[in-house]
Structure 1
Amino acid sequence: MSPAQPAATHAFPAQSPIAAETGAQIARLTESLDSAGLWWLSGYAAGLARAQSGAVAVASAHAPVETVADAAERGRLTVVYGSQTGNARRVAEALVAKFEGEGLPVRLLRADAYPTRELKDERFLAIVISTQGDGDPPDDARALVEFIDGKRAPKLPQLRYAVLGLGDSSYPQFCAIGQRLDARFEALGAQRWIARGDADLDIDTVAAPWSATLFAEAKDALKAKSPALTLASVTPLRPHAQAPAAWTRERPFAAELLANLPISGRGSDKDIRHMELSLADSGLDYEPGDALGVWIENPPALVQAMAEALDLDVDAPVTLGTDTLPLREWLGRKREITRLSRPFVATHAAHAGSEDLNRLLAPDQRDGLAALMAGSQVIDLLREHPGAWTAEQLVEALRPLQPRLYSIASSRKAVGDEAHLTVAHVEYLHGDALRWGAGSHHLATREEGASLPVFIERNERFRLPADASRDVIMIGPGTGVAPFRGFVQEREVVGAGGRNWLLFGNPHARTDFLYQVEWQDALKRGSLHRLDLAFSRDQAQKVYVQHKLREHGRELFAWLENGAHLYVCGDATRMAKDVHAALLDAIATHGGKSAEDAADYLNALQAQGRYARDVY
């Protein structure tokens, strides 16, 4: 995502029916809203106008009155995205820009801002949505997916739709949410406009042709249905588009590594690093909740081992498309070699003639395949199931190397031109061979003064409340505590009046209490009001943060009833699900609610932006 840009406030035009003081208040309000929030606010304001006057408010006496159904009927395309890390948003924005460039009617909505009551009137709909974890929707799309899947979804014989799914084929449930929505729209009677796309980490290889096909199919339909209307001129409260950032994912900034400090104690099973990078002279800005993207390199020892396993020369030139590089460069800087994917397993099964691998690829062997991909790397497959590859075949079969995203563990207001990270160095034995996580190993082995290519990945869904008097509850075991260090720093600098409650967990207090001194000092200063700890291995019975949530459920529910915002960061596979279940239990028990009502309560918090998760 693009780095933050300062919001621009615009004066209301002289002919505006809104008083200057009210206009200034509206301008201040909208400065804190992203595009999805602005769309929601526009719909909310239109609803108020209908309630007062029985008609749709218009910008001037000459502007046509147009309902949602009218807009859909005349040929507007609605593009909805559900995104966990920003990739689906980027694809959706690029698609919308293409239609806007041709002057075609289109609107862009984040999934949690889409008014489900409008679905029955839609004529043209494109969905770009990612799948996370074990076939789960992104957090901002949960409610929409549940609605479309549920009994309240309307029949849609009038709808033409297109679905692009984004995923990671190292997970068995690859692009499951896109596939699910595609099938559900068909079951509701909608007409599939173009074939569904399933994009892996090399997103553009699928997303680009999918977008081009949709544009070719849609532009004539939209032009044919769009009447020649002269719309009233409206002065926006802020520009529709912001100036492009100087440093981006495609053009990263070379940040100097200022500090690389181990913060887990001697004897810990974990190697956790606190890292500080300089953003001086970059112009990059970030807010608490954002992530730092880092372009990494694979371990040289692993590159050499792969080449030796296949009897390939690491210095031999390999051409793919228009690029010719030594095999060492392809494997070191251009290709994923620490993460298996289903397509690679299938291709290697053919190269190796392996019946064992082919059996794992059967539909009823999902758990076995998941275990293989979670516990093995490419080198392990090559050694345990030998097969012949050429260098060109190998490079073509491997997925492009992707940047790693790390939650920023600092507040820009507190640390200045720096970004801090909390990184768990992944290092383990596979048999008797040492293996590493590519990103964490690259970072952990850099020395101070090294240069790292970085960019800011915005996370608008994971933001501190605009009202600083609101309380916040932060649940972050392990390195999931990283963004909450930035939250507490930010709230202290701005003098927030709300209380801060942190729940942290790790195996042992003596060796794994990350940022212990900082949290204790924050408690003394009053910038942290409550700290609950769960050290799972310090007693006979394991205790995790979800147990603390149940233990303190009464206080938790009271904070929520008083308007607190709730945040969860960390492992999506187990922790986030266990925490979600504990929250439901606490709400049901102390709110006197049924399980269904507790789920509705938590969904409502999420819709209000008061329950946010950054899980991975």
Structure 2
Amino acid sequence: MLRKLHSLPGLIAALFAIVLAVTGAILSFSPALERANASVPAAGQVSVAELADTVARHYPGAEQIKRTPSGTLIVYYTRDGDVGADRIDPRTGQAIAPYAPSSFSRWVKNLHRSLLLDTPGRMVAGITALAMIVLTISGTLLLAARLGGWRQLLRPIRGTLSQRLHLELGRAALLGLLLSGLTGAYLSATTFGLAPEGVEAEPDFPLEVSGGTPAAIDTLPVLQATDLNDLRELVYPYPDDPTDMYSLETHQGAGFIDQASGEWLSYQPHDATHSVYALIYQLHTGEGLWWLGLILGLSALTVPVMAITGAMIWWKRRRSRPKIVANSGANAADSVILVGSEGNTTWGFAKTLHDSLTQAGHRVHTAPMNQLASRYRHAKRLFILTATYGDGDAPASASRFLTRLDNITDTPQLPVAVLGFGDQQFPQFCGFAKKIEASLTAKGWPLLLPLDTIDRQSGQAFTRWGNAVGKALGTKLALVHTPTRPRTTALALAERVDYGAGVQAPTDVLRFKAPAASGKTALLSRWLKRTGLPSFEAGDLVGILPPASQTPRFYSLASASTDGVLEICVRQHPHGLCSSFLHALPVGGTIDAFIQPNPNFRPTSGKAPVVLIGAGTGIGPLVGFIRHNKTHHPMHLYWGGRNPQSDFLYETELNAYLTDRRLTQLNAAFSRIDERAYVQDKLTANGPELRRLIDKGAQILVCGGRGMATSVISALDDIIAPLGIDVTTLKAQGRYREDVY
């Protein structure tokens, strides 16, 4: 619900929000530019009387002096029968330059306030301001939920490039956008009489004046007592008319002044409501607060980027999730299906189950696991279909499931069946599904069926499970699901570097390019500097479909698409279908591949050092991170191989990175030489240095085999124990990330 509350207003108001944000940003810089060109005396240095005296010397025909909120002084005068206006110096009263309001600024202001549509446009602008408030608040709530609570609101953000841009900019501009939205909505409300604007001071018109000889303007007591910084407007009396008077407006109020005595003839302060209105107007425009205007302007400039990235995120999420037809309400359904998915593939299986149950006459409600309800009024059974993310962790749509489950205190009577999805090559195969079943059992939920698992999206295993479900329900249920083949790109092997033959562990660094274009297409690609590669970053995953298999194998990427190659590091396994295919692939041979973003595994921004730990082919993405460290961020690499003469992967490149300071320190360990050291041994030997780096806020990235990763955790726990923390703590802080297999 919260995500819909955030997405729908954003999509509807996106175009109007971009227009208002861009025009607001343009206008917000005006106070700073105006202030930069204005000479503003300190409070108490110059009175209005002193200013008026200096102006009189240069402008005998002065009619009005006006001070803008940013401090610019403008004198309006008549000279030789011509009317003019100049910007003046407050200390000398001399002209700085002729004053001419900008027609462009006036047009931008009208576009910002009413979209050039007068009253209907003002209504749209007001509604857009309200939408901005909703978007800011709902976005903050979503970000807090994503990061694990309000206290974690400043944690590093994971996600794809569009997600990180959207969230990082939103977090940075949060207060500025909320202030703009609140003040803009209030100002729009006053336009239509829905909120009070207050009454600007209008003093009673004096019934009589003294009629005496006008005194010199610099001797008038009221003007002497009024500081220049409080001035809004001073209007002169008609020349040679002793019955006319001065009109003075300040920030506090307005009144009329006798020419002869210089005292108030009448005075009326602004009422409190108008003072509040003036403050809100100042907070919205930055007029008089040039520094706030800059903050609001910079915040507004994030809106177009967030609108575009938000739409991209919404579209990608919508496109990747199958459309559930005839989805009954949670309290109307007799069967509930909850889905835990990271890349949305599990939703395809859930849709097949949903459709089959619906065709069998059941009322079915299908939703993400994060939407677990405390009670389903008419439900008779619950199905949980979930993938596992990383090392037995929850996938994205199930990240809050266990917390919601713990909050259910009533003893449930709803039979449940858990189906896990995963890959048996990983030690934590369906680890999250097993964790879910254990938690349900511990809370007394009855089982409709024992836990079952699906390996590598097997359609046959899903059909078998469907038969078991059908027997449990007493109805025939045929679940036939064929996973959608991912959309792939053909890539040609351009280069290979062989390692490991001497230690019987053949390992190749493989670099792929898009097949060469020809003719006009090639010329256009060169002109646009396009590589033909899909977009990816170092640390993302490439899925490769080997011949005669529909199940992709994933490899961590050692390059970014901007490098012009897709680079992976692959060790040949004795009976590995894909690794054998890749090692036998000749230069020029092609593969079918697709990219799977892996935003949870890459260095975060900031000044803290980065510690990279890996073994074997796990060095691939770590080298990619180092390769792109062109700002010379502190990076320390710990890596383990077998023999430096045979499988020192990327040795030449790493030495070059040490020379140009993209790599701060290299610590290599080899298990097939006399010292028989492993990477965890290097960590222990360098314990004090690692402890110092971690104490300074270092982030740790680990890539390689599961056994190595387990040993690394054990070694690091011992190293950082004196700091009163462990690896679990670092994981919770987002400072320890793994890509293990």
For the aligned pair, the TM-score class normalised by the smaller chain equals 0.5 to 0.7
Q: Separation in 2 of the partners of 1:99 and 1:180?
A: 24
- The answer as to 2:420 corresponding to 1:285 is no
Maintained 8 Å contact 2:160/2:598: no
Q: Separation in 2 of the partners of 1:566 and 1:468?
A: 14
- The answer as to 2:400 corresponding to 1:157 is no
Partner SS for 2:680: helix
1:269 partner letter? Q
37 and 549 in structure 1: CA distance in 2 versus 1, 3 angstrom threshold: farther
Q: Separation in 2 of the partners of 1:249 and 1:455?
A: 10
Query: Which of the pair has the greater relative contact order for Cα pairs under 8 Å at 6+ separation?
Result: 1
- The answer as to 2:616 corresponding to 1:491 is no
Question: Match of 1:189?
Answer: 444
Question: Match of 1:205?
Answer: 460
Maintained 8 Å contact 2:603/2:701: no
Question: Match of 2:266?
Answer: none
Question: What is the CA-CA distance between 1:170 and the residue it aligns to?
Answer: 7.0
468 and 209 in structure 1: CA distance in 2 versus 1, 3 angstrom threshold: farther
From 487, 505, 509, the equivalent of 1:251 is 487
- The answer as to 2:553 corresponding to 1:404 is yes
1:553 partner letter? G
Question: What is the CA-CA distance between 1:119 and the residue it aligns to?
Answer: 7.4
Per-residue Cα deviation, 1:376-428 (whole angstroms, up to 9, x for no partner): xxxxxxxxxxxxxxxxxxxxxxxxx6322111111223x12x2011111234x
Question: What is the CA-CA distance between 1:605 and the residue it aligns to?
Answer: 2.8
Question: Match of 2:509?
Answer: 274
Per-residue Cα deviation, 1:158-216 (whole angstroms, up to 9, x for no partner): 4854422124567898656534532441331224466644212243334478699999x
- TM-score for the superposition, normalised by structure 1: 0.55
Maintained 8 Å contact 2:339/2:346: no
Q: Separation in 2 of the partners of 1:32 and 1:515?
A: 28
- The answer as to 2:723 corresponding to 1:586 is no
Q: Separation in 2 of the partners of 1:569 and 1:468?
A: 21
Question: What is the CA-CA distance between 1:77 and the residue it aligns to?
Answer: 7.0
Question: What is the CA-CA distance between 1:249 and the residue it aligns to?
Answer: 4.7
Question: What is the CA-CA distance between 1:18 and the residue it aligns to?
Answer: 8.0
RMSD: 5.1
Question: Match of 1:615?
Answer: 740
Question: Match of 2:572?
Answer: 425
Maintained 8 Å contact 1:505/1:534: yes
1:559 partner letter? L
The structure having more radius of gyration, on CA atoms, is 2
Question: Match of 1:444?
Answer: 583
Q: Separation in 1 of the partners of 2:395 and 2:694?
A: 20
Question: Match of 1:262?
Answer: 498
211 and 565 in structure 1: CA distance in 2 versus 1, 3 angstrom threshold: farther
Maintained 8 Å contact 2:346/2:386: no
Partner SS for 1:547: helix
Question: What is the CA-CA distance between 1:582 and the residue it aligns to?
Answer: 1.2
Maintained 8 Å contact 1:139/1:613: no
Q: Separation in 2 of the partners of 1:528 and 1:502?
A: 8
Partner SS for 1:498: coil
Question: Match of 1:510?
Answer: 645
Q: Separation in 2 of the partners of 1:200 and 1:130?
A: 10
Q: Separation in 1 of the partners of 2:428 and 2:395?
A: 19
Q: Separation in 1 of the partners of 2:669 and 2:538?
A: 24
Written as runs of structure 1 = structure 2, the 5 A alignment for 1:303-382 is 333-334=548-549
Maintained 8 Å contact 2:495/2:510: yes
Q: Separation in 2 of the partners of 1:197 and 1:182?
A: 10
554 and 127 in structure 1: CA distance in 2 versus 1, 3 angstrom threshold: farther
Q: Separation in 2 of the partners of 1:146 and 1:18?
A: 30
Q: Separation in 2 of the partners of 1:473 and 1:171?
A: 25
Per-residue Cα deviation, 1:547-595 (whole angstroms, up to 9, x for no partner): 12222233323333333221111111x211111111211221x31x3xx
Per-residue Cα deviation, 1:507-551 (whole angstroms, up to 9, x for no partner): 1122221101111111111111121111122224x2111112222
560 and 153 in structure 1: CA distance in 2 versus 1, 3 angstrom threshold: farther
Identity of aligned residues (%): 28
- The answer as to 2:691 corresponding to 1:553 is no
- The answer as to 2:401 corresponding to 1:166 is no
From 599, 606, 613, the equivalent of 2:731 is 606
Per-residue Cα deviation, 1:210-258 (whole angstroms, up to 9, x for no partner): 699999x99xxxxxxxxxxxxxxxxxxxxxxxxxxxxx95332221111
Maintained 8 Å contact 2:346/2:385: yes
From 451, 457, 460, the equivalent of 2:596 is 457
Maintained 8 Å contact 2:158/2:599: no
Q: Separation in 2 of the partners of 1:35 and 1:506?
A: 32
2:739 partner letter? D
Partner SS for 1:251: coil
Q: Separation in 2 of the partners of 1:560 and 1:170?
A: 32
Maintained 8 Å contact 2:341/2:386: yes
Q: Separation in 2 of the partners of 1:504 and 1:270?
A: 16
Question: Match of 1:523?
Answer: 658
From 708, 711, 714, the equivalent of 1:575 is 708
Question: What is the CA-CA distance between 1:121 and the residue it aligns to?
Answer: 3.9
Question: Match of 1:538?
Answer: 673
Q: Separation in 2 of the partners of 1:159 and 1:34?
A: 40
Partner SS for 2:712: helix
Maintained 8 Å contact 2:160/2:597: no
Maintained 8 Å contact 1:166/1:198: yes
Question: What is the CA-CA distance between 1:484 and the residue it aligns to?
Answer: 0.9
Question: What is the CA-CA distance between 1:263 and the residue it aligns to?
Answer: 3.5
Question: Match of 1:372?
Answer: none
Maintained 8 Å contact 1:291/1:458: yes
Maintained 8 Å contact 1:426/1:440: yes
Question: What is the CA-CA distance between 1:275 and the residue it aligns to?
Answer: 0.7
Written as runs of structure 1 = structure 2, the 5 A alignment for 1:52-71 is none
1:484 partner letter? L
Per-residue Cα deviation, 1:412-451 (whole angstroms, up to 9, x for no partner): 23x12x2011111234xxxxxxxx4222211111111111
Q: Separation in 1 of the partners of 2:612 and 2:464?
A: 41
Maintained 8 Å contact 1:410/1:419: yes
Q: Separation in 1 of the partners of 2:705 and 2:666?
A: 20
Question: Match of 2:340?
Answer: 81
Q: Separation in 2 of the partners of 1:99 and 1:608?
A: 38
2:453 partner letter? D
Maintained 8 Å contact 1:295/1:403: yes
Q: Separation in 2 of the partners of 1:517 and 1:490?
A: 16
108 and 177 in structure 1: CA distance in 2 versus 1, 3 angstrom threshold: closer
Q: Figure out how many residues of one structure are paired with residues of the other and give that number.
A: 411
Per-residue Cα deviation, 1:275-303 (whole angstroms, up to 9, x for no partner): 11113675621122111111224xxxxxx
Maintained 8 Å contact 1:476/1:569: yes
From 590, 613, 616, the equivalent of 1:475 is 613
1:277 partner letter? F
Question: What is the CA-CA distance between 1:270 and the residue it aligns to?
Answer: 2.3
575 and 278 in structure 1: CA distance in 2 versus 1, 3 angstrom threshold: same
Maintained 8 Å contact 2:555/2:568: yes
Written as runs of structure 1 = structure 2, the 5 A alignment for 1:292-307 is 292-297=542-547
170 and 561 in structure 1: CA distance in 2 versus 1, 3 angstrom threshold: closer
Maintained 8 Å contact 1:425/1:441: yes
